[in-house]
Structure 1
């Protein structure tokens, strides 16, 4: 028996999930010690409750997916709107190096998936589904490429399989990032700036999302202006998605939302000399991030994950180990073996197994405890949300041509 929750009820339940997560993280010591993000903690409780209702009474709650998509686009738009060229230049060589590290990881992730699938007697393309298609790509990429694999390569149930793998990655990415970064910080005796950033004034140039619980003073006028900017980003994303559908430059809608934000922000900055209100963008972006994650985990169907085939569970388990090992021994060392590198590792685990919102939540959990990491919050959102999707699309096409 399916129970459909409409838009308003979905939003109410998402808010409850966030409040429960906040309560649990504050009251349960090991959640704080392992830096589990609040949306992940509350979302897993909701998912377990849904699983219990399904197991006991056959009830399958479903939630308004359009609301989840809308808040995801708001989050990615906020990344673009906060990325003026001055901030991108500030990312500098670190952004390029981190991008190269992640590109190599995509090749490793797909190679591991294909090799394990072949060794277990599966179609090698199933290894791609349990590789960067779903883990780096997330639910949107899983749906898009799953359709291609079903229609053009005869992989039955590729979309369902992809959604299940992406869901697994979203949860695991939120569970391993914080503990890994904490282990690196303690093992190497690293220290962030003094204080967690939750009190005192924000520094000039502080990247968005860095201090989600920080009080930000905004006005009604700034709120209206910011809403208009977000509406512009979403309109641009919708237009470009429709114009490029079926072409060589077809990209996920959230990439166009981010690109629209970058375009609008820098046109206003450098052509019209209009001062964009970063604090309002930060508030909207953090709210969008939290609600998106809450709805994503609220919609988690654990009974579908329980039905994954044994070989696929093996592949995903190995991918989790590979992700943690690569971040801890490659990403951390290449990025400088310092505190910023440890926070970058938390972010890498987030979008390497799940999605960019998970990466940001992972980093927030670390910086709330150990202190700010401006470098990580400049680099990870842009790499995880924009550059990596372009690289991933090319890598997937190459692997499909070779093994398809």
Structure 2
């Protein structure tokens, strides 16, 4: 039996799955502990159900995921709008060092992925999918770049990238805290005195989100829409002119970053609460739809090579953090906290990084304010300035 869902039915189902996924994440300890995203939970559960129906011969489903691409472009636009150069100055030297380490890691992960894929006799593009795409980029980049790789002839690219990103989330959540604790013991790092209460309260107050009303939401939506149009046009023009595939969402992110910094230059202020809301909604919708359409059966022939490739990626990351990053950051308490963060987002995502650092700091009763400023800024936003173009180049180079 063939079941076909139209646009409205598919979108409604995606929203329901997103809601159920977020509910499960909040109420199931394992999912909460490892910061598994709600869209991944709901969408992947549906993909498993589709797999069961297909393998038992009961039914095959066809979905209309037309809204997936616009939601994806909107999400990457919000990432670009968060890339403010002025924020770089607040992090100082440590931010520059950490950001350079993030960029180096993204480059290294693709080199390792392509090398391992070649050695194992599989498509090198899949090495990129299980490299910086899935590990530094997480499920969002996996769902975004997978269709691009498949359009260039790599079957199963999305499934491989999503599987690698899921593995990375779990590994990043499990290994970040132990790595930081080992570094503390190994280098006899002293725990600094507790931060001043007034300073901590001021920092917490600054981090609170602004309330989102109709006006700010509409203004932000208009800005995102205009940037999306310009970004898609840039991507299309660049691809047609050079023959080098530049996904529309990368073009949108570039235009958004330029727009943000021009706005900063002329004192134009963005409403961060509205931007965060649109970012969360667009990510949730496109990622849920991507997971719903996941062809899990494409993973069958690649299970062993993928496990070997990811095992090597984990080893390389841990060595890089312990032997290079921690030392460059000064081998102190802030450095150990940021090491926990890099393991988190270097394998899984920024929520993993924040959870790792929070758990590590709670253990010693001292919050590393520098780490909580630098890691999300570099690991969630600024890393894409180099990582995304590098991923695009690698896919085109080895496809």
| TM-score grouping bracket, smaller chain normalisation | 0.7 to 0.9
**Aligned residue number for residue 240 of structure 1:** 234
Query: Counterpart of 1:120?
Result: none
Gaps of 5+ in 1: 118-125, 149-157, 195-199, 207-213, 351-358
Task: Kindly indicate whether residue 347 of structure 2 is the aligned counterpart of residue 349 of structure 1.
Answer: yes
In the TM superposition, 1:115-264 aligns within 5 A as 115-117=119-121, 126-133=122-129, 135-137=131-133, 138=142, 140-148=144-152, 158-185=153-180, 203=204, 206=207, 216-248=210-242, 250-264=245-259
The structure-2 alpha-carbon separation of the partners of 1:397 and 1:256, relative to structure 1 and needing over 3 Å to count, comes to: closer
Q: CA 1:135 to 1:227, structure 2 compared with 1: closer, same or farther past 3 Å?
A: same
What's the counterpart of residue 101 of structure 1? 105
Which 10-residue stretch deviates more, 378-387 or 105-114?
A: 378-387
Q: Structure 1 residues 361 and 259, CA, compared in 2 at 3 Å: closer, same or farther?
A: same
Within 5 A, what are the aligned runs for 1:2-401?
2-89=2-89, 90=91, 91-117=95-121, 126-133=122-129, 135-137=131-133, 138=142, 140-148=144-152, 158-185=153-180, 203=204, 206=207, 216-248=210-242, 250-271=245-266, 273-305=267-299, 308-309=300-301, 312-331=302-321, 333-336=323-326, 338-350=336-348, 359-363=349-353, 366=356, 373-396=372-395
* Inter-CA distance 19–252: structure 2 relative to 1 (3 Å threshold): same
CA contact (8 A) 2:71 2:286 kept: yes
Unaligned ranges ≥5, structure 2: 134-141, 186-190, 196-200, 327-334, 362-370
Shift of 1:222: 0.6
Residues 5, 62 of structure 2: 8 Å contact kept = yes
CA distance, structure 1, for counterparts of residue 37 and residue 387 of structure 2 = 23
Distance 1:331 1:88, change over 3 A: same
With over 3 angstroms needed to count, the CA separation of the structure-2 counterparts of 1:87 and 1:24, relative to structure 1, is same
Asked if the contact 1:134–1:142 (Cα under 8 Å) also holds between the matched residues in 2, the reply is no
Note closer, same or farther for the CA distance 1:262–1:115 as it changes in structure 2 (3 Å cut): same
SS of match in other structure, 2:83:
coil
TM-score, normalised via structure 2 length: 0.78
Q: Give the paired residue count.
A: 358
Could you tell which deviates more after superposition, 183-192 or 36-45?
183-192
Give the Cα–Cα distance (whole angstroms) in 1 for the partners of residues 218 and 151 of structure 2: 39
Contact 1:180–1:345 (8 Å) recurs in 2:
yes
Deviations along 1:145-191, one digit per CA (max 9) or x if unpaired, are 5555xxxxxxxxx4323333233324333333322334435655799
Q: Relative to structure 1, is the Cα distance of residues 32 and 320 closer, same or farther in structure 2, using a 3 angstrom cutoff?
A: same
Contact 2:106 2:132 in 1 (8 A): no
Q: Any conservation in 1 of the 2:156–2:295 contact (CA below 8 Å)?
A: no
Give the SS at the match of 2:4: strand
Tell me the distance in 1 between the aligned counterparts of 2:17 and 2:177: 25
Q: 1:28 to 1:392 in 2, by over 3 A?
A: closer
Secondary structure at the residue paired with 1:3?
strand
Q: Deviations over 1:293-344 (max 9, x none)?
A: 2222222232333xx32xx322211122122222223135533252222222
Q: What RMSD over aligned residues (CA atoms) do the two structures have, in Å?
A: 3.2
User: In structure 2, how many angstroms separate the alpha carbons of the residues matched to 1:201 and 1:64?
Assistant: 47
